[in-house]
Amino acid sequence: MKKILLLMMPLAILLGQCKPVEKTDEKTPVSFIKQPTIDSVMLKLTNQYGETGKTRMEKGVKQCAALWTPKDGTEKDFETFCQKFFVGDPAKREYLFKRFSSNWESLFGHFNMISLDLKRGMHLDIGEMLNIDEMFGSYEPGAHFNDDYFNNKLAFVTALNFPFYSLKEKEESGPTWSRYDWACVRMGDLFTSRVPADVNVKIAEALTAADNYISGYNIYVGNLYDDQGKTHFAKEMKLLSHWNLRDELKANYNKGEEGLLKQKMIYEVMLRIINQDIPDSVINNPSFQWNPFSNKVFKDGKEVANTPEPDTRYANLLNLFNKMKLMDPYTPMYPNYIARTFDGGMEIPQEQVEKLFTGLCSSAQVKQVGDLISKRLGRPLQPFDIWYDGFKPRSNMNMELLDKTTRAKYPNTQAFEADIPNMLLKMGFKPDIAKEIASHITVDPARGSGHAWGAQMKGDKAHLRTRIGKDGMDYKGYNIAIHELGHNVEQTISLYMVDNYTMQGVPNTAFTEAFAFTFQKHDLELLGIKDNDPDKEALAAIDNFWMSYEIMGVSLLDMKVWKWLYENPSATKEQLKQTVVATAIEVWNQYYSPVFRIKDTPILAIYSHMIDNPLYLSNYPVGHLIDFQLDQFLKGKSFADETVRIYSAGRLIPQIWMKNAVGSEISIQPLLDATDAALKKNL
């Protein structure tokens, strides 16, 4: 359920979202603009505009001074610039704000459209992928934006009149700010460092290379042999790692011994991928047969020699680290990628996120839920049971019948797109709003498992890219597509129904994941299948708890790996592989082995997001927590009306957004309490 809302990163982050930078690529004094010049500017501006707004004035002047370098002009030029472009009159400043907003929307919107279009060859199932597709896909039209707008001084005009506020300042003052105040503050997040264009390009290229590697990592499971030389999957079935492999594993929970054998086979495939002893010849290649247990490869029934994948998985991760690290000198408030991701991007400190995750993974409830799953399965837990799917309504349904239903209903992307207005009506949206939202969403055929990519300006469309087989959309694909449709609905509401462009979006990607999860849970309802189970709320609570438990461990691994990389910046891909595997085992043994009673498995390292979108994974479990709190709040209320109210709030910081949405901050406690209550039932 990969969502590319910000694969290229939001412009405010990639182009420098942090404290004003004092270092340039030239040998420039740390503070080119000296304090006497700043004092002189402040005196003149105060004499002109008075004491009203002096705090904003001082903040803007200081930030511009920190960003100014000799190539921007002399200290006298700086003084002249501030006098000319500072807007002290509130009405004129609001007019300036509106003009900036309109132009930024045009720029960012068109950057997004170009980037999306150039990635068509990589992302869409439109024929053979050419070697030039990755070259086009790695081109980032906004890569020079920061340099260009510092050079033409518009970045300085922005920082001078709409200065940056730290997360602490936003937390302290945010509750008293008006919507316009917040919009101005968000505009102040835009120009806060000067990251060279070549650094942005290198990061974009590394992200594209990793995404391309993952997007083409298919396993032809119809060619998997067991030790008796038998195959167990449909002949033409190919599964993308890790998403499709995981989802196929989930789909086999209701199929007896044959289903268990398939699950064990997929688990062995996953271990081979993690350890990189998977034969290189069986990756995205239907020409060979492979026994993942013995790791032998066959061609037309005869064993052939094979060579393992040459640690390509970890080479991509290492390349991303090395490129992300290039940005570090230009973002001193957030001195590394970890801080930029959490303090800057998520706007929740990494330590707080980690505390949430370790709190749930260490809770007494995990062993109780694990014992319940073991009882329901009638066997001891296996490591792949971290993906146990039996608490969902569909887990007891006939998957072949579900596949037949979705294939008939959605033979192609056009059929799915045409049904979106009807789906929204079923969700309770008023006809005019359903029609409006649907008109801004288009559906494309994906090479991979699919993703959602939102528009960045009004008039453009959000794209739902989904994989549909030649026989139509199977249920797993449909379920993922509904998740991605949830993203598109959120993306549309938070763009078209937000009062100011700079407030468009959500606090961070966990919030759009939360809505996608909430939306996804209506997938059977949208097919006209009712769930009358009296225990459905209890089952939903335990399901959310188990999903959170699973992905929190993966996220803890992701964070530990990046901390290790910063501690070992000269590591080789082989050392990185060894560390990822060892750390995955360490996290497993601490938080999972006591529940599963199995030690030393590295299965947590299978997640593809670790490779092509590092540190993104934390958004999923935070999203699960938000999803649960939203669900609790929405009981007895209009889903559609509350969705519009909540998501039209736009990009407040996370805890203020949550208080506005449901009346309380993000917490694991509501989920723990609901799990306790559910465990008391005879499920």
Token pair listed for 27: 């040998």
Q: Is 125's pLDDT higher than 60? A: yes
The secondary structure of 146-196 as a DSSP string is HHHHHHTSHHHHHHHHS----HHHHHHHGGG--HHHHHHHHHTTSSS----
pLDDT at 24: 36
Q: Is the pLDDT of residue 28 over 60?
A: no
Q: How far apart are alpha carbons 407 and 349 in whole angstroms? A: 44
Between these two residues, 511 and 30, which has the higher pLDDT value? 511
Sign, Cα dihedral of 623, 626, 629, 633: negative
**CB 494 within 8 Å of CB 504:** yes
pLDDT band at 514; cut points 50, 70, 90:
confident
Assess contact for 333 and 19: CB atoms under 8 A.
yes
Residue 93 banded pLDDT, cuts 50, 70, 90: very high
Q: pLDDT by residue (tens digit) across 171-220?
A: 999 999 999 999 999 999 999 888 887 898 899 899 999 999 999 999 99
- Give the lowest-confidence range in 266-275, 355-364, 516-525: 516-525
Residue 31's pLDDT band, with cuts at 50, 70 and 90, is low
- The single residue listed with the structure tokens 């139509």 is 472
SS3 244: helix
Q: Tell whether pTM > 0.85.
A: no
Distance between CA atoms of residues 200 and 16, nearest Å: 10
- pLDDT digit string, tens, across residues 229-246: 999 999 999 999 999 999
Joined together, the tokens standing for residue 98 give 């509106």
Pair 3, 484: CB distance under 8 Å? yes
What is the per-residue pLDDT across 465-494, written as a single tens digit (0 to 9) for each?
A: 998 988 999 998 999 999 999 999 999 999
Confidence bin at 394 (pLDDT 50/70/90): low
Q: How far apart are CA 63 and CA 680, in angstroms?
A: 57
Token pair 């094979």 in the structure block, residue: 306
**pLDDT tens across 556-615, in order?**
999 999 999 999 999 999 999 999 999 999 999 999 999 999 999 999 999 999 999 999
CATH ID of 398-526, from 3.40.390, 3.40.1000, 1.10.1760, 3.40.50 = 3.40.390
For residue 440, is the peptide bond before it cis, meaning its omega torsion is within 30 degrees of 0? no
Side-chain half-sphere exposure of 159, counting CA atoms within 13 A:
29
What's the CA gap between 290 and 90, in Å, rounded? 70
pLDDT beyond 60 at 8: no
- Which tokens hold the place of 563? 């901390």
| DSSP 8-state assignment for residue 469 | B
Structure tokens at 415: 């059929």
| pLDDT for the residue 20 | 31
Total residue count of the chain as it appears in this document: 683
Element at 219 (helix H, strand E): strand 218-219
What CA–CA distance (Å, rounded) separates 678 from 628? 14
Q: In which residue ranges of the chain is CATH 3.40.390 found?
A: 398-526
- Amino acid in position 291: N
Q: Which residue bears the tokens 């991605």? A: 484
Share of the chain above pLDDT 90, in %: 80
End-to-end Cα spacing for the chain: 28
Average pLDDT of the segment spanning 51-60 = 92
Kindly state the tokens that stand for 561: 């790996």
The pLDDT tens digits of the residues spanning 494-504 come to 999 999 999 99
Query: Residue for token digits 């994974």?
Result: 617
Q: With beta carbons less than 8 A apart as the criterion, state whether 494 and 449 touch.
A: no
Asked if the model's pLDDT at residue 17 lies above 70, the reply is: no
Q: How confident is the model at residue 16 (pLDDT cuts 50, 70, 90)?
A: very low
Chain-centroid distance of CA 56 in Å reads 34
Q: Which amino acid is at 464?
A: L
CA gap 596, 588 in Å, rounded: 10
Question: For 275-292, how does the pLDDT look when each residue is reduced to its tens digit (9 = 90+)?
Answer: 999 999 999 999 999 999
Cβ-defined contacts of 175-180 (< 8 Å, 24+): 175/656, 179/499, 179/500, 179/503, 180/94, 180/97, 180/500
Q: Which helix (H) or strand (E) holds 647?
A: helix 639-647
Residue bearing the bigger pLDDT, 469 or 154 = 154
Q: What is the pLDDT of residues 616-637, one digit of tens each?
A: 999 889 989 998 999 899 989 9
Q: What is the pLDDT of residue 567?
A: 98
Place of tokens 């038998």: 230
Backbone angles phi, psi at 576, to 5 degrees: -65, -45
Look at 66 and 8; give whichever has higher pLDDT. Answer: 66
